[in-house]
Structure 1
Amino acid sequence: MRMTARSPQRQGNRRKIHIGPWVITVAVVVALTAARWIAAHPALGITLTALVAAAAITVAMRARPALRARKGGALTTVDPHRLKPDQFEHFIADLCRRDKCRNVRVVGGAGDLAADVLYTDPHGRRGLIQAKRYQRGNSVGSEHVQMVNGTYRDAHHCQHAAIVTTSHFTRAAAEFGHQVGIRLVDDHRLTDWINGQRSAAPWN
C-alpha cells in the first residue's frame, strides 16, 4: 500500500492548539461543582438560569433598538423617537431597504455634506436623505433645507433629496422645500411611511 506524504505547506497552515491537562482538570471541577449545586438547589438553579437569560435578552435589545427593523415586518414595532441619532439613520436605511431600494448606505458623520443615507429608489433614481431625530417641539429650520439643496446634486450626484424628521418643519423650511423640490417628511408622514404607505416614502 502506497502512502502519500502530506505537503509541508498544508501542514504549516494548520495551527495547533495545546490545552494543558490542568486547564481540563479545572474545567471539569468547575462543571461538576456547578452541576452538584444545581442538583442540590433545583429551584434556585432554574431561577438563576432564567435571570441570566433575561439579562442577556435585555442587553441585546438595548444595544441597538433598530436591530428589530432588519426583521422585515417588525419595522412597525420600532418607535423612532426612542432611537439615538445614529440609530435613527440606520432605521431610515432599513425602511429604504424594505421598500425595495438598492445600494442603500448610511454615510452620516463628520464631513457628510448634509447626507445621512444614500440609496437608489425603486424607480432607479439616486436619492439622498438627511435624518433629523429631533424632539417633537424642536423644529427643523430652513437652513437645513438650504444645505441639502446645495449638496445633493453636485456633491452626491443625486436626482432627488429629502429630510426626514421625528418632529416638524418651520413654515420657512416648508416653503423653501416646496420651492426647490426637497421632500420634507415630518413626524406624521414618517409614521405613515413606517406603517407601509408607499406614497409617504421620501422618493414619492
Structure 2
Amino acid sequence: MPARKRRRWSGWTIAVLALLAYLAYRWITANPVLGALILALLGAAAFAVAQVRLRGRLPRIRRPLAPHDPHRMSPGQFEEYLAHLCVRDGCSRVQVVGGANDHGADVLYVDPHGRPGLIQAKRYAPGNSVGNEHVQIVNGTYRDYHRCVHASIVTTSHFTQAAQAFAKRVGIRLVDDARLDRWARGYASAAPWN
C-alpha cells in the first residue's frame, strides 16, 4: 500500500479556518442552548464517521470469541472461532471468507511475521476424518488464487494417512483436534503458521 501524502495547509486556509472558528465561538457564546445542541450533534456525527472508518480497518469478525467446545459449533461459528484465534495471536487483516465459492479458504490472514496465509476449516465429528481431496483443493488455490505464502487445514477431528502424506509433500500444515486444543490454549508452536 503506497504511503499517504501529508496534506499541506496554505496560510489562507489557516486564516479562513481560524476566522470560522472565532465566528462559531462567538455565535455559541451568544446562543448557549442551541450551540450546545449543535455541538452535541456534530460530536455524534464525528463519532459515527470515526466508527465507520475504523470498522473498515478492523478484522471482519462478527461475533466475540465463544469459550465453547469447537465440536458443538456450527461450521460458520467454527470459522469465526479460528479467525478470533488468529487475531488473538497477532495476525492482521483477518477475514472470514468461507462459503459456497471460497476456493479452499475459510479464513485469510497475515501472520505475525507479515506473511499471508489461509485456513480451510473442517468442523467434523471426532469419528470422521479429513481426506486427501481437501488437501488437494487447498494446494491448488492457496498460492495462485489467494496469493498466500502458506496454508493449513484445521479440523476438530483427524486426517487420513493419504492426506497427511500429501500435505507433508506439498508443505500444507495440518492441525488436528489435539493441535487445535493446544493452539486454543495459547501454545504459539501449535498455531497454523508455525
Q: TM over 0.5: same fold?
A: yes
Partner residue of 2:166?
Answer: 176
Q: Any unmatched runs of 5+ in structure 2?
A: 1-29, 39-61
Identify the match of residue 86 of structure 2 among 96, 103, 106. 96
TM superposition score normalised by structure 2: 0.68
User: One-letter code of the match for 1:105?
Assistant: Q
**Out of 99, 102, 112, which is 1:109 matched to?**
99
CA distance in 2, matches of 1:82, 1:68: 16
Superposition RMSD on alpha carbons, in Å?
2.2
Identity of aligned pairs, percent?
Answer: 64
Q: Which amino acid letter does the alignment assign opposite residue 141 of structure 1? A: G
Question: Structure 2 counterpart of 1:104, which letter?
Answer: V
4+ long deviations beyond 4 Å: none
Q: Which has the higher helix share?
A: 1
In the alignment, residue 186 of structure 1 is paired with which amino acid? D
**TM-score, structure 1 as length reference:** 0.64
Report the Cα distance in structure 1 between the residues aligned to 2:64 and 2:135, rounded to whole angstroms: 30
Partner residue in 2 for 1:25 = none
Structure 1 residue 133 corresponds to structure 2 residue 130: no
Q: Spell out the pairing of 1:8-19 with structure 2 (5 A cutoff).
A: none
For the Cα contact (< 8 Å) 1:81–1:135, is it kept in 2? yes
Aligned twin of 2:53? none
Match of 2:15 in 1: none
Gaps of 5+ in 1: 11-65, 70-74
Distance in 1, matches of 2:179 and 2:68, equals 15
